[in-house]
């Protein structure tokens, strides 16, 4: 036994196999050759065992994963049972440029014993099978992506839920990670209609789709090139990729439909003399407000990858929504002054203007912005919508105080774990591509982040595009009271819509229950700004087909700890009639 422990220490770590629940210990090896014991965390702990296999970047291998999560505010010990998840996963290295870093990020798929996808709830997230373990490395604040997802969610747009955790891989502590939801079609993610291979005509072929503009790393990629160049004589075209349905699942009729939809929009933007015409211009094709919000988030972060990489668009079925939507936001680790190229470090200037002034872009840059983004930005009507939205959010969601409160809360949350992370990955005080600022300490990185945001907000407020108009903006209408409307239609089969309104920003939860009080579905569970909302409840989103009968939907909105004028709970009855 003595020789056993000596041999394990020689490899800098020891633990029992993943299925065991005793004597689990992990060590952090640091540059001077010493070992620091990792035994517990205020964050959830993820333990992965590949059983001797090497994780690759083009096909998931089968491994074991255990998650220790005792709840918010409760300490997690490495010797605790795997109480949040204990089972099989598929795992592969993900990312593009980030693969050059020693701290890898992973795509994880929860699986059953037979290797099939298994929908589970990890760390309180809605059930799904596809997850991301994101590895902050060149972002030494560790929080840029999490911050952007919080901001977008607060603006009423779906963004990936996030949870910081610490990860042990094959008995080796590998640092602070962020559990993220993969961008997928789901009632709790991008809530669009699920498509089947038989959906090839009529209303069925019109949605839902998720497409993206991004690099083509990894397996299972396909798409099409835009007919219209990003700028005249460009040697590169914009490549739209099928994301949902997946490239190996989408059928030809569906490819034809979404390609033609984008082609019609791009043709109008290229040839029309009045692109803002409500009947024939971009309002016919786009949920304009979603593009306004995506622009504001990209510009707040001055994201050098914005508009041209990690950019998603989605389209629901026509019977639900005929418009193309922008989002969800994704991959902002180079934002907020963290890039030393494409003016990313400057707090002045519009990033969209820089990226579409092709005198700024090297001739060998293949990842270019679609030409219609600049046309939107230059359109007076669109600019006025941006101005109106900015006036709506600048004193609340996008105020420095609101953003700094969240940054401070994350700084406190990470106070302990960040020390271990930087012992494992000693990058503080070291330039890592493409850092503009290199802080000697974590505190300096946070000061830089907050100072940069302050200066950026001030510049945007002083240089905001557009001007006041007397045109009523949808996102400017703030309800004066809480309300939860009766679903329509009622009785229903197979779908019904539920509408509500909230006069205050805050966390909103909308759930469906059966007569026995069992939860049937979670339709909404996120922070939203004050506003009016509508969501569809469709039986296709339920794993176990519910029977006819009486059901209840319950809305919780606002702050339950505040006075009665700031919180709201109401339950209504609806009838499923098959």
Q: What is the pLDDT of residue 31?
A: 61
Three-state secondary-structure class, residue 377: helix
65 forms beta bridges with 48, 87
- Quick check: 11 pLDDT over 60? no
- Quick check: 277 pLDDT over 50? yes
201-210, 370-379, 465-474: least confident range: 465-474
Whether the CB-CB separation of 160 and 183 falls below 8 Å is answered with: yes
- Quick check: 184 pLDDT over 50? yes
Q: What is the pLDDT of residue 9?
A: 36
CA dist 494 and 15 (Å) reads 51
Cis peptide before 208 (omega within 30 of 0): yes
Helix 288-301 and helix 380-393, axial crossing angle in degrees, nearest 10: 70
Could you report the per-residue pLDDT of 288-317, keeping only the tens digit for each? 999 999 999 999 999 999 999 999 999 999
pTM for the model: 0.82
Q: What is the rounded average pLDDT of the residues 180-200?
A: 95
Q: What is the rounded average pLDDT of the residues 3-25?
A: 39
Q: What is the pLDDT of residue 58?
A: 81
Whether the CB-CB separation of 505 and 530 falls below 8 Å is answered with: yes
Nearest by Cα to 300 from 312, 310, 292: 292
Higher pLDDT, 260 or 188: 260
124-138, 225-239, 517-531: least confident range: 517-531
- Quick check: 471 pLDDT over 50? no
| Percentage of the chain modeled with pLDDT above 90 | 74
CA dist 59 and 302 (Å) reads 34
State the Cα angle at 134 between 129 and 135, rounded to 5°: 150
Token look-up 């497409």 returns 211
Q: What is the pLDDT of residue 3?
A: 42
Q: What is the pLDDT of residue 459?
A: 97
Q: What is the rounded average pLDDT of the residues 229-249?
A: 95
Supply the CATH classification number for the domain 477-576: 2.60.40.4070
- Quick check: 6 pLDDT over 80? no
For the chain, the average pLDDT equals 90
CA dist 182 and 95 (Å) reads 12
Q: What is the pLDDT of residue 10?
A: 34
Q: What is the pLDDT of residue 547?
A: 86
Helix 442-462 and helix 400-413, axial crossing angle in degrees, nearest 10: 160
What are the E-state strand segments in 101-238? 105-111, 130-134, 162-169, 172-181, 209-213, 223-225
Whether the CB-CB separation of 27 and 15 falls below 8 Å is answered with: no
CA dist 206 and 200 (Å) reads 9
CA dist 133 and 540 (Å) reads 29
508 forms beta bridges with 526
Q: What is the DSSP letter of 431?
A: -
Could you report the per-residue pLDDT of 318-348, keeping only the tens digit for each? 999 999 999 999 999 999 999 999 999 999 9
Could you report the per-residue pLDDT of 403-433, keeping only the tens digit for each? 999 999 999 999 999 999 999 999 999 999 9
CA dist 550 and 574 (Å) reads 6
Where along the chain do its domains lie?
A: 2-181, 202-374, 477-576
- Kindly indicate the confidence band of residue 15, based on its pLDDT and cuts at 50, 70 and 90: very low
Q: Encoding tokens for residue 295? A: 């622009």
Could you report the per-residue pLDDT of 38-96, keeping only the tens digit for each? 999 999 999 999 999 999 988 999 999 999 999 999 999 999 999 999 999 999 999 88
Q: What is the pLDDT of residue 13?
A: 36
- Quick check: 524 pLDDT over 80? yes
CA dist 454 and 448 (Å) reads 10
Report the b/e string of 392-407 with b at 16+ CB within 10 A.
Answer: bbbeebbeeebbbeeb
- Kindly indicate the confidence band of residue 502, based on its pLDDT and cuts at 50, 70 and 90: confident
């Amino acid at each position: 036994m003595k020789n056993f422990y000596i041999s394990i220490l020689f490899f800098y770590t020891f633990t029992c196999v993943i299925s065991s629940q005793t004597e689990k210990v992990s060590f952090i090896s640091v540059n001077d050759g010493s070992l620091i014991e990792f035994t517990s965390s205020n964050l959830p702990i993820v333990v992965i065992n590949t059983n001797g296999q090497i994780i690759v970047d083009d096909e998931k291998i089968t491994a074991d994963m255990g998650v220790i999560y005792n709840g918010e505010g409760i300490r997690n010990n490495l010797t605790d049972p795997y109480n949040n998840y204990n089972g099989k996963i598929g795992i592969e290295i993900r990312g593009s440029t980030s693969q050059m870093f020693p701290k890898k990020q992973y795509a994880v798929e929860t699986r059953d014993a037979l290797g099939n996808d298994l929908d589970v709830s990890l760390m309180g997230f809605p059930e799904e099978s596809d997850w991301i373990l994101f590895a902050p490395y060149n972002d030494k604040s560790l929080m840029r992506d999490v911050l952007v997802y919080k901001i977008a969610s607060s603006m009423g747009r779906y963004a990936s839920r996030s949870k910081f955790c610490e990860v042990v891989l094959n008995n080796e502590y590998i640092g602070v990670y962020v559990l993220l939801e993969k961008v997928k079609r789901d009632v709790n993610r991008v809530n669009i209609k699920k498509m089947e291979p038989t959906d090839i005509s009529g209303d069925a072929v019109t949605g839902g789709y998720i497409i993206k503009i991004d690099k083509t790393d990894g397996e299972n990629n396909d798409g099409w090139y835009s007919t219209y160049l990003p700028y005249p004589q460009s040697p590169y075209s914009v490549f739209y990729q099928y994301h949902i349905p997946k490239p190996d699942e989408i059928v030809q009729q569906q490819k034809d439909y979404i390609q033609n939809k984008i082609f019609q929009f791009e043709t109008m933007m290229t040839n029309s003399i009045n692109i803002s015409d409500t009947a024939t211009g971009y309002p016919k094709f786009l949920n304009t407000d979603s593009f306004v919000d995506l622009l504001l988030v990209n510009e707040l972060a001055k994201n050098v990858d914005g508009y041209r990489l990690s950019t998603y668009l989605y389209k629901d079925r026509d019977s639900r929504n005929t418009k193309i939507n922008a989002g969800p936001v994704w991959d902002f680790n180079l934002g907020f002054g963290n890039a030393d190229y494409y003016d990313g470090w400057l707090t002045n200037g519009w990033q969209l203007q820089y990226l579409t002034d092709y005198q700024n872009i090297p001739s060998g840059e293949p990842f270019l912005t679609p030409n219609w983004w600049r046309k939107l930005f230059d359109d007076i009507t669109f600019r006025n919508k941006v101005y109106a939205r900015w006036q709506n959010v600048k004193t609340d969601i996008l105020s420095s105080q609101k953003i700094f409160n969240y940054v401070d809360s994350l700084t406190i949350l990470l106070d302990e774990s960040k020390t271990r992370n930087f012992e494992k990955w000693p990058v503080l005080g070291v330039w890592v591509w493409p850092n503009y600022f290199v802080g000697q300490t974590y505190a300096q990185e946070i000061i830089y982040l907050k100072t940069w945001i302050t200066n950026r907000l001030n510049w945007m407020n002083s240089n905001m595009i557009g001007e006041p108009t007397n045109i009523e903006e949808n996102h400017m209408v703030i309800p004066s009271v809480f309300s939860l409307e009766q679903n329509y239609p009622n009785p229903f089969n197979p779908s019904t819509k539920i509408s509500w309104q909230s006069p205050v920003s805050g966390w909103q939860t909308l759930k469906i229950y059966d007569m026995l009080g069992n939860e049937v579905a979670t339709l909404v569970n996120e922070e939203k700004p004050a506003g009016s909302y509508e969501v569809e409840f469709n039986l296709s989103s339920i794993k176990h087909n519910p029977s006819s009968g009486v059901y209840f939907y319950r809305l919780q909105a606002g702050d339950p700890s505040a006075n009665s004028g700031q919180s709201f709970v109401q339950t209504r009855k609806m009838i499923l009639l098959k």
